[in-house]
Structure 1
Amino acid sequence: MNFSAQKQQIKPPERGSFPLDHAGECKPFKEAFLACMKEHGSEHINCKPLSKQYLQCRMDRGLMARDDLAKVGFGDDDTKDTRGSRVVTEGQRESAGFVAGLHIEERKSLNPFRWTPRGGGH
């Protein structure tokens, strides 16, 4: 039984199919990228050149549609060294006295539609 008013249209992936690499032709590139991600704590910016090599390998072997790498996030500036370019903001608000959740109680007190119990013994 289908209760929906209209049938959902199924669309194919935007860039076509992405077949599995059964022959392992691009496995060395994939393994190098995954090792880099593990080494850098999943900071992808440090592993971007390896990601680019992996996608290029897939395109060269017909495992994905050939496309300009600039359209999928890789440009001419990918050759420069980006290590250490991440801006770390973790802990800055806490060091300034921020406590999570305090703003919620403040919002509750500003709600004009909030029910408040009234005394009177009725």
Structure 2
Amino acid sequence: MSSMTFGQKSFQPTPPDKGSFPLDHEGLCKKSMISYMKCLFINKNDNSACRKEAKEYLSCRMDNNLMAKEEWTKLGFTSEDVSNKQ
């Protein structure tokens, strides 16, 4: 007897929209990741208060080929955020 019920659809996994997100096994961006996590903790998970840290972390990941290079506006940063070299 089969464990599948008639009429039940099978699950079809789909890949993420932007592809894989490799882990940072060598800890190349650990410092910026910890800085971002501390900022989130201090600000009670309000990510809008941690935009500078988030940008530094994403920049580190792009610079070390841990994610595809993407325009800042596509990652949710405004042109004002990009022009401020914080």
Q: Are 2:20 and 1:17 equivalent residues in the alignment?
A: yes
For the aligned residues, what is the CA RMSD?
1.5
- Relative to the length of structure 2, the TM-score reads 0.79
Cα 1:47–1:5 shift into 2, 3 Å: same
Deviation at 1:35, TM superposition (A): 1.3
Larger RCO (alpha carbons 8 Å, 6+ apart):
2
1:2 matched residue in structure 2: 4
Q: Percent identity?
A: 37
Deviation at 1:5, TM superposition (A): 3.2
Query: After the TM superposition, which parts of structure 1 deviate over 6 Å for at least 4 consecutive aligned residues?
Result: none
Tell me how many residue pairs correspond in the alignment.
79
Higher-Rg structure is: 1
CA deviations on 1:12-36 (whole Å, 9 max, x unpaired) are 0111101110100000100111111
* Unaligned 5+ runs, structure 1: 80-122
Counterparts of 1:43-82 in structure 2, within 5 Å, are 43-78=46-81, 79=84
